[in-house]
Amino acid sequence: MFNRRDFIRTGSALGAFTSIPTLESWGDTLLPSLEGPSHHAISLDQHWTVARISKSTPHQQSHQEGQLPQVTLPHCVSQLSWQKWDPSSWEDLWLYRRPLQIPQEFRGLRLFLHFDRVMVNATAAVNGHSLPQHLGGFLPFEHEITSLVTGASNSLSVTVDSRWSNVPPSGSPKGPASVDYLLPGGINGSVELRAVPPIFIKDVFAKPVNVLSADRRLEINCNVDSAIAKSTPVRLVATLQKDKQIIARTSRSVDVAQNRQDVSLVLGDLKDVILWDTENPHLYDLTVTLFVRKQPLHAYKVRVGFRDARFELDGFFLNGKRLQLFGLNRHELFPYVGFSAPDRAQRHDAEYLRRQLNCNIVRCSHYPQSKAFFNACDELGLMVWEEIPGWQYIGDKSWQDVALQNVGDMVRRDRNHPSIVIWGVRINESPNDPELYRQTREIAKSLDGSRPTSGTMTPSSRKDWRQNWHQDVFAFDDYHAAADGSVGIDEPLPGVPYMIAETVGQYSYGTARNFLRRYRRAGDPVEQAEQAVLHAEAHSRAATNQRCCGVIAWCAFDYASLMNAYAGVKCPGIVDTFRIPKLGASFYLAQVNPSVRPVIEPSFYWNFGSNTPTGPGKHAAIFSNCDYLEVFIDGRLHERLKADKDAFPNLKYPPFFIDLNIDGASKPELRIDGYTGNTKALSRSFSSDTASDRLWLHADDMEIQADGTDATRVAFAVVDKFGTPRAYAKGEIHLQLTGPGIIVGDNPFSLDDTGGVGAIWIKSIPGSPGRITLSASHSTLGTNSVNISSR
Ligand code: GAL
């Protein structure tokens, strides 16, 4: 029998208990919700105020306090535009505060504060009692606060230090310009109050083993945390389900000592499970329930996908079949909010990469990204390379300690995602540090023996990688030109699984051999037209040698940067920062079976202005998955085209090239018909007459949640009469919103620097549902509007 004394925790490590959990408090009402890791959780995302503290005196601070507006998480401390971010706008100390109410039903339970992520260092305090500082953005942390709460009403504060500090990726004495991406601060993830019984399941790792054979199994490691002074008999029951159907179940009884301990279970007899793969990302639900004396006290639920992913000497294999890796690097930074975009926006990125850009893998460069992104990758069949924060710089011992901590926190957080197939455990493009990288690898392997480790390497590392190099996969950032100035792809190194983790980027192929390109829609049209062709060359050439597992090119989306950037936005993306495709995307958009959707994407602007007086030029590329194309100018057949299989032998859908060096004085119309077999699969038209241009406005979602966090993107563009964005369109967009929402973004919005497109996000107001209307007006093109509802 338990008695009250059993729950009095002793020992300084656990601290003193002000409220002692009792057996009675584990009543039926506290049965597991079966959603996520905690018994009960409440969101603390709303009702925060935030003040910049180091720049204001204490007097000013208290004066301001009553006037501070409430903010909702995720939140960025700076009001940002889409460009020209200034690190001094966030590099400071910020004080977030909110009340902390403890619901009646949490009485007698252990209480934890859970932070998804805070950029960059965070000190939380409950009722003025400071908790240990957490160092480094990107990864979750938790504090037990059971002994700190007093009654129902408490206060919570978080001091966020978003200055440049000695944690990865920052730390270099050269400051923010020394890292390729900017790091705006704030509480950029969710905060939760979690309530659990005195014994609870802290973590579950479910590792599929022997996946390709009929006797596959699921090895389950449960970390159980007990605050009970004496050893307690518990039973753990693991149930694997597909929707409501139980696939397998097992249980184990153990005595759990005070503090933490691991308990392992094995689920066998899984011969009928369907494997997870990129085309059919089949997922199962695993629930582990902890019973004490037949009473279910706590449950922990994770999703499981059974797949076998291997990087071998002769390529990458998914479930035993060779699969060419086809992907892009992704920075998570969004316009206006940096790393504080809502889950919906994160998921849209994954959907865009998988469904529109047809990638089968994404590299999360150069840090762990949002949970919502990984959940979407699992559901979409988008494989992932995840890596620790860092960029070229390795700091001192305390910096390295944070890097080591990051490896453990990353692997623990994300090892249940079937989409993740490899861990990056080296600082991106850093010099070799044998001792540091021996340790990072060891931590990853000890927490997850099922995935290979890697880290991206530069040309100098190709020579001496065999000495003191301990990763499983050699991932090369291949930026060099071939002798003829086209995209150079080095031969895979012998004796090691090999892949390309970056290529193309802003590299100037041809003669310059530097990172000088700017793929801006408002920039040089000739450079822009070449971007897709360079990406096509890289993927085709890398596929010549089957030893190369494939290519993850640089990169998906433009991002905020002070390095080789234009007005603070680096533009190697094939999609811009607003998530609007550039010409560079045309190659990726076309790499899909025409039975899914026929695609015709010219890699040029149909424009005859001062930038391109004679049109797209002599060697204009069109990307399409059709068998052949017929190109018409003003209704007259100009040319019938076949794809250039000779120059791009290893692409499923190589580009078509055409001479379109023509006189555009008559403002001709272009039509491209695409045929598969003898059937016309698609016809697209393009107008060069700007007189018929119009304003296009599009909301990604018809509905958002009225929680003050959720937001949907509204994109706008000047388009020709057939709907294609008009390059170099200018003017201002004035936005007007009615209803319970706010505009996150620039208003008015100048089209001049974006080249005629843009986007803002509409964010809900907590607890205010209703219909939201956004109208956008352009000085010469009139007004357009969209409606969404907030529920
Ligand atoms: C690479 C680097 C990337 C990005 C890219 C620029 O060397 O790893 O983060 O900076 O260059 O094109």
Q: Is there an atom of ligand 1 within 6 Å of 178 CB?
A: no
518-536 pLDDT, tens digit per residue, is 999 999 999 999 999 999 9
Q: Is there an atom of ligand 1 within 6 Å of 390 CB?
A: no
Distance between Cα 365 and ligand 1 center (Å): 9
Candidate from 515, 519, 531, 569 with most ligand 1 atoms within 8 A of CB, to mutate: 515
Give the position, in ligand 1's atom list, of the atom nearest the Cα of 392: 8
Sorted by sequence, the CB contacts under 8 Å of residue 174 that are 6+ apart come out as: none
Is the bond into 366 cis (omega within 30 degrees of 0)?
yes
- For residue 36, pLDDT over 70 is answered with no
Structural domain contains residue 6: no
Same structural domain, 400 and 466: yes
* pLDDT (0 to 100) of residue 66: 66
Q: Is there an atom of ligand 1 within 6 Å of 502 CB?
A: yes
**DSSP E strands: which ranges in 133-256?**
134-135, 141-144, 153-161, 191-196, 199-209, 217-226, 232-242, 245-256
Distance between Cα 372 and ligand 1 center (Å): 25
Dihedral angle over CA of 661, 662, 665, 666, nearest 10: -130
Structural domain contains residue 611: no
Distance between Cα 126 and ligand 1 center (Å): 41
Is the bond into 748 cis (omega within 30 degrees of 0)?
yes
Same structural domain, 569 and 705: no
Q: Is there an atom of ligand 1 within 6 Å of 180 CB?
A: yes
* pLDDT (0 to 100) of residue 65: 57
* pLDDT (0 to 100) of residue 29: 37
Domain end among 571, 589, 607 = 589
Q: Where residue 26 falls among pLDDT bands split at 50, 70, 90?
A: very low
Residue 748 · residue 778 · CB < 8 Å: no
- The span from the CA of 430 to the CA of 422, in Å, is 18
Give the position, in ligand 1's atom list, of the atom nearest the Cα of 563: 10
Structural domain contains residue 236: yes
* pLDDT (0 to 100) of residue 35: 41
Single pTM value for the model: 0.94
Query: What CATH number is given to the structural domain containing 289?
Result: 2.60.40.10
Q: Is there an atom of ligand 1 within 6 Å of 478 CB?
A: no
* pLDDT (0 to 100) of residue 613: 87
Q: Where residue 37 falls among pLDDT bands split at 50, 70, 90?
A: very low
Q: Under DSSP, is residue 295 helix (H, G, I), strand (E, B) or coil?
A: strand
Q: Quick one: which of 114, 100, 84, 83 has its CA closest to 187?
A: 114
Distance between Cα 55 and ligand 1 center (Å): 34
Please name the residue whose Cα sits nearest to atom 12 of ligand 1: 505
Average pLDDT over residues 68-96: 97
553-580 pLDDT, tens digit per residue, is 999 999 999 999 999 999 999 999 999 9
- For residue 10, pLDDT over 80 is answered with no
Give the position, in ligand 1's atom list, of the atom nearest the Cα of 505: 12
Distance between Cα 751 and ligand 1 center (Å): 27
Q: Is there an atom of ligand 1 within 6 Å of 573 CB?
A: no
* pLDDT (0 to 100) of residue 762: 98
Distance between Cα 316 and ligand 1 center (Å): 24
Strands 548-553 and 480-481, by their bridges, are unpaired
Sorted by sequence, the CB contacts under 8 Å of residue 65 that are 6+ apart come out as: 49, 51
Same structural domain, 47 and 82: yes
Structural domain contains residue 59: yes
- The span from the CA of 332 to the CA of 552, in Å, is 16
Distance between Cα 479 and ligand 1 center (Å): 9
182-210 pLDDT, tens digit per residue, is 999 999 999 999 999 999 999 999 999 99
- For residue 437, pLDDT over 50 is answered with yes
Query: What CATH number is given to the structural domain containing 56?
Result: 2.60.120.260
Structural domain contains residue 596: no
Average pLDDT over residues 533-560: 98
* pLDDT (0 to 100) of residue 511: 73
Same structural domain, 557 and 645: no
Candidate from 391, 554, 555, 561 with most ligand 1 atoms within 8 A of CB, to mutate: 554
- The span from the CA of 34 to the CA of 631, in Å, is 58
Same structural domain, 696 and 621: no
Q: Where residue 64 falls among pLDDT bands split at 50, 70, 90?
A: low
Q: Is there an atom of ligand 1 within 6 Å of 558 CB?
A: no
Structural domain contains residue 721: yes
Sorted by sequence, the CB contacts under 8 Å of residue 351 that are 6+ apart come out as: 376, 380
Distance between Cα 141 and ligand 1 center (Å): 29
Average pLDDT over residues 494-509: 97
Q: Is there an atom of ligand 1 within 6 Å of 185 CB?
A: no
- CB burial string 239-273: b at 16+ within 10 A, e below: bbbeeeeebbebeeebebebeeeebebebeebeeb
Distance between Cα 428 and ligand 1 center (Å): 9
Query: What CATH number is given to the structural domain containing 655?
Result: 2.60.40
* 477: its two tokens: 């950032």
Average pLDDT over residues 220-244: 96
Same structural domain, 471 and 382: yes
Q: CA 560, 581, 787: angle at the middle one, nearest 5?
A: 95
* pLDDT (0 to 100) of residue 63: 44
Instruction: Label each residue of 536-593 as H, E or C.
Output: HHHHHHHCCCCCEEEEEEECCECEECCCCCECCEECCCCECCCCCECHHHHHHHCCCC
Please name the residue whose Cα sits nearest to atom 4 of ligand 1: 180
Give the position, in ligand 1's atom list, of the atom nearest the Cα of 561: 10
675-701 pLDDT, tens digit per residue, is 999 999 999 999 999 999 999 999 999
Q: Where residue 28 falls among pLDDT bands split at 50, 70, 90?
A: very low
Same structural domain, 411 and 275: no
Distance between Cα 507 and ligand 1 center (Å): 9
Same structural domain, 414 and 391: yes
Is the bond into 598 cis (omega within 30 degrees of 0)?
no
Give the position, in ligand 1's atom list, of the atom nearest the Cα of 429: 8
737-791 pLDDT, tens digit per residue, is 999 999 999 999 999 999 999 999 999 999 999 999 999 999 999 999 999 999 9
Structural domain contains residue 495: yes
Distance between Cα 563 and ligand 1 center (Å): 10
* pLDDT (0 to 100) of residue 543: 98
Q: Is there an atom of ligand 1 within 6 Å of 561 CB?
A: no
Q: Where residue 630 falls among pLDDT bands split at 50, 70, 90?
A: very high
* pLDDT (0 to 100) of residue 55: 67
Is the bond into 555 cis (omega within 30 degrees of 0)?
yes
Q: Under DSSP, is residue 145 helix (H, G, I), strand (E, B) or coil?
A: coil
Distance between Cα 455 and ligand 1 center (Å): 13
Same structural domain, 334 and 270: no
Q: How far is CA 198 from the centre of its chain?
A: 35
Mean pLDDT, the chain, rounded, equals 93
Residue 699 · residue 789 · CB < 8 Å: no
Q: Is there an atom of ligand 1 within 6 Å of 554 CB?
A: yes
* pLDDT (0 to 100) of residue 535: 98
Please name the residue whose Cα sits nearest to atom 11 of ligand 1: 505
Distance between Cα 437 and ligand 1 center (Å): 21
Distance between Cα 47 and ligand 1 center (Å): 39
Structural domain contains residue 553: yes
- The span from the CA of 633 to the CA of 663, in Å, is 11
Distance between Cα 405 and ligand 1 center (Å): 24
284-340 pLDDT, tens digit per residue, is 999 999 999 999 999 999 999 999 999 999 999 999 999 999 999 999 999 999 999
Distance between Cα 170 and ligand 1 center (Å): 16
Please name the residue whose Cα sits nearest to atom 5 of ligand 1: 505
- For residue 19, pLDDT over 90 is answered with no
Give the position, in ligand 1's atom list, of the atom nearest the Cα of 428: 8
Structural domain range at position 570:
324-589
Please name the residue whose Cα sits nearest to atom 10 of ligand 1: 180
Same structural domain, 640 and 770: no
* pLDDT (0 to 100) of residue 39: 58
Q: Is there an atom of ligand 1 within 6 Å of 429 CB?
A: yes
Candidate from 502, 515, 534, 563 with most ligand 1 atoms within 8 A of CB, to mutate: 502
- The span from the CA of 356 to the CA of 665, in Å, is 35
Residue 212 · residue 320 · CB < 8 Å: yes
Please name the residue whose Cα sits nearest to atom 3 of ligand 1: 180
- The span from the CA of 306 to the CA of 423, in Å, is 18
Please name the residue whose Cα sits nearest to atom 9 of ligand 1: 180
* pLDDT (0 to 100) of residue 609: 83
Domain end among 272, 304, 336 = 304
Q: Is there an atom of ligand 1 within 6 Å of 428 CB?
A: yes
Q: Where residue 25 falls among pLDDT bands split at 50, 70, 90?
A: very low
Residue 700 · residue 761 · CB < 8 Å: no
Quick one: what percent of the chain has pLDDT higher than 70?
A: 93
* 13: its two tokens: 């490590």
Provide the number of structural domains found in the chain.
Answer: 5
Give the position, in ligand 1's atom list, of the atom nearest the Cα of 365: 9
Same structural domain, 637 and 697: no
134-168 pLDDT, tens digit per residue, is 999 999 999 999 999 999 999 999 999 999 999 99
Domain end among 643, 658, 688 = 688
Distance between Cα 300 and ligand 1 center (Å): 39
Q: Is there an atom of ligand 1 within 6 Å of 506 CB?
A: yes
* pLDDT (0 to 100) of residue 260: 84
* pLDDT (0 to 100) of residue 610: 82
Query: What CATH number is given to the structural domain containing 560?
Result: 3.20.20.80
Distance between Cα 477 and ligand 1 center (Å): 8
Same structural domain, 501 and 403: yes
Distance between Cα 364 and ligand 1 center (Å): 13
Q: Under DSSP, is residue 278 helix (H, G, I), strand (E, B) or coil?
A: coil
